[in-house]
Structure 1
């Protein structure tokens, strides 16, 4: 446990709370002024440029000119990253999507106040609109703790070291998740195209994306396995939501999982479509993430195309895994030169990709094997994702505790 200061006083500022007796508080406008960056014309971007170009989020590109020199701090002023703070270590171009901090005195440590702005959760100050936005004046009217410049330096140095270690740990965990997802994908791809018997005789499928398949498997035209569902929504159908993350589930369940509301469809059933559990939905993102499996029965937007297995030799759970493999998705992409980000695939694209057809009992066995195996991988991934959340929460907590003086960083001496 870190050491605390010997005496505290009330700062009079809710987000700061008590501060060490020797510290003071002041309005941010007395420490720095915030001004918008400047737009950079498209023809001024240069991949080989000397200076990074920052928008509201990460680096947007490079340029051969800069509008800030030396160290500075920027605050994202709009969009999903609104309120995010970034310390800039050298010359750069800052676009109009960020606010630039101009410090009023060289005694103010820019790295310390970058951490202060981070601790303030500036995104909470954004103005409600179609796109969140933050005002420089609102930020400047907030109050900040102000230790002496020696303590500012010590706190900044300590947090640089500790946050770098946390960030490295997060990066390691994120990389392990990437590897697990790659392994998960390889397990699925191997099982749905090669089966579970490593000693089974093989044959050439005649299809590039499949390659070799067990000799007793078939390759069939999709229309021999799946039909196009054209049913209009039933009066008692629940509203469904399609997503690559969850497949097709009820809108209510989706909102619970995502902790957010989505637009409800209030219209006649004549422009909505009926979906049965076990159907597959072709969405506008299917060329990126494959077909979505419907776990529930209900109604969905007419913008989607539904297909369903109509033979007793087609097991949906097997094809649920197949339709999410990278090779299958690439095969879908190859069916049209017109497929671009944001453009929907059509039923005609789906029917062009020949499909492997193992015997029904093998389809069922493969599906059960993959359900069990991927569940164990998904559980491990979830544990790692939870660890990332805890690491990031600890990072934020550590910053807040240090910049408000709740703990005394090593090397600081009280007067």
Structure 2
């Protein structure tokens, strides 16, 4: 869909805005606000009349540019402390502290709840001036964030960041007439909702692909590739029936080496020649060297002192939110174990790929899950892992299953990559549409008229 432009433009004199409609004003962001007041953390909830929901940065819905539906945190804030800090529908919230390299501070969302709340001390409440349309301004701040206008106001670039709100609000922004703010807001509400629907469809597709991928892995390593093979009870709850000619074994009998990582945090070095494998560096059957942190030779030798990590060794995450993933090592003399990782070396009776896929199956995952129930930080004991019950097909059949999974899962990877690329393009389209509308590159006033007649 293409949209018309305005009839007359003029140079705004502002780099991120370029030319804007001739009748629009250009002014500082601070003109749009009556106040910008830091939030308050208060004290622990007490169950009395001073308990109130507290919006944290974690409650920002960065896609919808609003506060999440549920605000889980309740704090105790006295009436005097709430003065001028209580949030009402239509306030904007400015992220003051937090952030990181991939998500710098300075994001703005709309408080769209009817119930009163406060915001944490990492967030500032912005009360808009008369004639300023809240939804327009959340989109305007989003457009500014997308071009990194906030960067100049961030006082440090690593660790916990702090935004100088006075400096940020001194940046210049477009001020359309109030009726056009409403038209732009209505247009973007509708059009971004359409894009969000398409993104949701693609995300649902990736979820279905992940579920199908897991089902294919689990079926192949417990039932094999022959649908007509006679089955027998394995005697193991998580394995169920297995082909009659297969055996059942334990992980410790399938390996020649089982190595736990050194229980200390690696000292990373951006100029190091070696790569430390962390739980975030692998997924089911996939290793991602391109995102791994580096270590120097001294740290590398410290971390492989128990055993070098060799090509076709299996690395396995056993702690944290990403426990239970396994992948094959792709080269000798390059990798070492980071924290929360284990290393296995298949013995002569097992194909390394088959063993790796088995470790990624839900049949094995459920065996480790017994150690993590109710744990704030999931952690699977080494003893539990060593005694995982696994199937043991003939070696030739293990290789056939591994070949099949490599090909079949490659198809899933391609489909997932297509879906992820579609999501990326849709999100780029969303960002571009918001920017075009709030900076006046497209004229959406006719859209509002069409909506009124519909």
Smaller-chain TM-score bracket: 0.7 to 0.9
Look up the match of 2:63.
none
What does residue range 116-135 of structure 1 map to in structure 2 within 5 Å? Answer: 116-121=140-145, 124-125=151-152, 126-127=154-155, 128-135=157-164
Look up the match of 1:37.
39
Is residue 240–residue 250 contact of structure 1 (8 Å, CA) maintained in 2?
A: no
Provide the C-alpha distance between the structure 1 equivalents of 2:52 and 2:375, rounded to a whole number of angstroms: 35
Shift of 1:202: 0.6
Look up the match of 2:265.
none
What does residue range 76-115 of structure 1 map to in structure 2 within 5 Å? Answer: 76-80=95-99, 81=103, 82-90=105-113, 91=115, 92-103=117-128, 105-115=129-139
Deviations for 1:285-341, whole angstroms, at most 9, x for unmatched residues?
A: 387233343222234147543220122x20011122111122311202325779652
Q: Select 1:156's aligned residue among 157, 179, 185.
A: 185
Is residue 115–residue 399 contact of structure 1 (8 Å, CA) maintained in 2?
A: yes
Look up the match of 1:222.
251
Shift of 1:360: 1.0
Provide the C-alpha distance between the structure 2 equivalents of 1:325 and 1:281, rounded to a whole number of angstroms: 15
Shift of 1:70: 2.4
Length, aligned pairs only = 401
C-alpha change, 1:15 and 1:57, in structure 2 (3 Å) is: farther
TM-score by length of structure 2 reads 0.79
What does residue range 5-404 of structure 1 map to in structure 2 within 5 Å? Answer: 5-32=6-33, 33-43=35-45, 53-58=54-59, 59=68, 60-61=71-72, 63=74, 67-80=86-99, 81=103, 82-90=105-113, 91=115, 92-103=117-128, 105-121=129-145, 124-125=151-152, 126-127=154-155, 128-228=157-257, 238-244=274-280, 246=282, 254-255=289-290, 258=291, 262-265=293-296, 267=298, 270-273=301-304, 274-285=308-319, 288-298=323-333, 299-301=335-337, 303=339, 304-311=341-348, 313-334=349-370, 341=377, 343=379, 345-404=380-439
Provide the C-alpha distance between the structure 2 equivalents of 1:395 and 1:278, rounded to a whole number of angstroms: 43
Shift of 1:220: 1.3
Where in structure 2 are there 5+ consecutive unaligned residues?
A: 60-67, 263-271, 449-454
Is residue 237–residue 297 contact of structure 1 (8 Å, CA) maintained in 2?
A: no
Structure 1 segments of 4+ aligned residues over 6 angstroms from their partners: 230-233, 248-251, 336-339
RMSD: 3.3
Deviations for 1:146-168, whole angstroms, at most 9, x for unmatched residues?
A: 11111111111111111111112
C-alpha change, 1:51 and 1:166, in structure 2 (3 Å) is: farther
TM-score by length of structure 1 reads 0.86
Provide the C-alpha distance between the structure 2 equivalents of 1:243 and 1:148, rounded to a whole number of angstroms: 51
C-alpha change, 1:42 and 1:325, in structure 2 (3 Å) is: farther
Say which SS state the counterpart of residue 120 (structure 1) adopts: helix
Provide the C-alpha distance between the structure 1 equivalents of 2:374 and 2:427, rounded to a whole number of angstroms: 41
Shift of 1:349: 2.5
Greater alpha carbon shift after TM alignment, 170-179 vs 275-284: 275-284
Shift of 1:132: 2.8
Where in structure 1 are there 5+ consecutive unaligned residues?
A: none
